[in-house]
Amino acid sequence: MNPGPWPRFALLAALLVSPLGHAACPTAADIAPDMLIGTWRVEWTDGGRERGETPWTLQLGPHPDYAGSLKGSLSRGHERHLVVADWDDETLTMEESVDGQHIAATWQAQATEGQCGRELKGVRFTGHEPDASARRFRMRAAAAR
């Protein structure tokens, strides 16, 4: 007698919920720099939307000169800023430059828990103390990784 598909279905279901069959959602400790390569949407979370500020598009790729580092650009409309970034100690640190020579802002972000490395939240700092200003932001992966 053929038991039908149920025993196979039960085995598949057990594998999907077991540690061996579970599709791992990376934690901040699991994230490597190459997992940040791609396109991200960056939005201000401190009221920027209410002020009519449009989101930025962040494009990150491998840095051509420094293994493990990232290089890319932030763009919004006709604005384009160069960036270099590192992922160390579960933190993304990114330096933004308008002219490719001077640092205009420093970004620091951590992975949002439960978002599988597809969302980071942090603060963008401009200026130097005591004139420094800070903005809160969220960056989300624009496409499936």
With the C-alpha atoms ordered 6, 7, 12, 18, is the resulting torsion angle positive or negative?
positive
pLDDT band at 18 (very low <50, low <70, confident <90, very high): very low
Give the dihedral of Cα atoms 143, 139, 89, 100; nearest 10 deg: 100
In terms of Cα–Cα distance, which of 71, 29, 69, 77 is closest to 52? 77
Query: What are the tens digits of pLDDT across the range 72-110?
Result: 999 999 999 999 999 999 999 999 999 999 999 999 999
Q: How many whole angstroms separate alpha carbon 83 and alpha carbon 93? A: 10
Please state which CATH number belongs to domain 25-141.
2.40.128.20
Average predicted confidence (pLDDT) for the chain: 84
CA 128 to chain centre: 25
pLDDT of residue 95: 97
Phi–psi pair at 4, nearest 5 degrees: 80, -170
Instruction: Please check the confidence at residue 3 and state whether its pLDDT lies above 60.
Output: no
pLDDT tens for 19-62 read 444 468 999 999 999 999 999 999 999 876 656 788 999 999 99
pLDDT score recorded for residue 131? 65
In what helix (H) or strand (E) does residue 1 lie, and over which residues does it extend?
Answer: none
Q: What does the alpha-carbon distance between residue 104 and residue 96 come to, in Å, rounded to a whole number?
A: 6
* Between residues 68 and 17, the one the model is more confident about: 68
Q: Which sequence spans correspond to the domains of the chain?
A: 25-141
Do residues 135 and 123 lie in contact, with contact meaning Cβ atoms separated by under 8 Å?
yes
Which residue shows structure tokens 């270099």? Answer: 84
Q: Is 112 exposed, middle or buried (0-12, 13-18, 19+ CB in 10 A)?
A: middle
Residue 24's pLDDT is: 82
